[in-house]
């Protein structure tokens, strides 16, 4: 049996996330459901180290992340990508926003492959000159698609998707799901956890579903029949 690429032991965040143990295996699609305020976002943000855990640890490739050097923790954060519901773009063009990661030292040695941009634009049915559009003229759906493209081009191993399509129209939702699915199928090592309030989306995008309730995560998944 495969080893988990990520697991936690007693991971918690104050009173908002009770001690949590998970095991995320390679090439796994997890849906996460629960009422608003149940702790789903807190859980994902804590996994991504956007919240500092109160106690417990995260193990990445069998190594305890919180006991590693700052450089190793930074490397972990490049492989675990958190995508929020609200798009965040900087002033400038779409191309400016897609190239933004290369301003960070951790990515400067990576090759910026603009052919990836062209491929993803085709997947979301946008022309090449979409790259020249000013970010403030984009619709909410277009802005979220750009945020997805910006993350996916970096080839993270795990996506933590916090209702990424909640504010999108059906066409933009289809495009976002297509981008995520294409990224997932490119490698057998990739996995994701996706929060959604839509049962039909969880059915489409998940193999197993976890449930969050008042900060308690039930990781006894039930299998989604396709």
pLDDT single digits (tens) 66-112? 999 999 999 999 999 999 988 999 999 999 999 999 988 888 788 88
Global pTM reads 0.94
pLDDT single digits (tens) 1-22? 589 999 999 999 999 999 999 9
**35 confidence band (pLDDT: 50, 70, 90):** very high
Q: Domain segments of the chain: what residues?
A: 6-218
Residue 225 pLDDT more than 70?
A: no
Task: Give me the pLDDT at residue 45, please.
Answer: 97
Provide CATH code, domain 6-218: 3.40.50.300
pLDDT single digits (tens) 96-105? 999 999 988 8
Q: What are phi and psi of 26, to 5 degrees?
A: -60, 145
Residue 194 CA to residue 206 CA, distance in Å, equals 8
CB-CB contact of 158 with 170 (8 Å):
no
Residue 9 CA to residue 30 CA, distance in Å, equals 19
């Amino acid at each position: 049996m495969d080893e988990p690429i990520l697991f936690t032991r007693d991971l918690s965040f104050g009173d908002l996330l009770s001690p949590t143990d998970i095991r995320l295996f390679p090439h796994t699609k997890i849906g996460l459901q629960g009422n608003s305020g149940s702790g789903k976002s807190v859980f994902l943000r804590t996994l991504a180290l956007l919240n500092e855990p109160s106690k417990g640890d995260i193990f990445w490739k069998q190594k305890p992340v919180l006991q590693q050097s700052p450089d190793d923790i930074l490397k972990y954060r490049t492989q675990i990508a958190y995508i929020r519901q609200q798009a965040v773009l900087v002033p400038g063009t779409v191309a400016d926003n897609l190239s933004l990661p290369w301003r960070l030292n951790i990515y400067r040695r990576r090759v910026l492959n603009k052919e990836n941009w062209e491929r993803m634009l085709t997947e979301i049915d946008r022309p090449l000159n979409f790259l020249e559009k000013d970010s403030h003229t984009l619709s909410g759906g277009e802005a979220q698609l750009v945020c997805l493209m910006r993350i996916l081009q970096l080839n993270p191993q795990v996506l933590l998707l916090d209702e990424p399509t909640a504010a999108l129209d059906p066409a933009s939702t289809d495009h976002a799901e297509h981008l995520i699915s294409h990224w997932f199928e490119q490698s057998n090592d990739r996995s994701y956890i996706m929060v959604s309030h839509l049962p039909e989306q969880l059915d489409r995008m998940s193999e197993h579903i976890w449930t969050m309730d008042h900060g308690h995560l039930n990781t006894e998944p039930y299998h989604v029949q396709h």
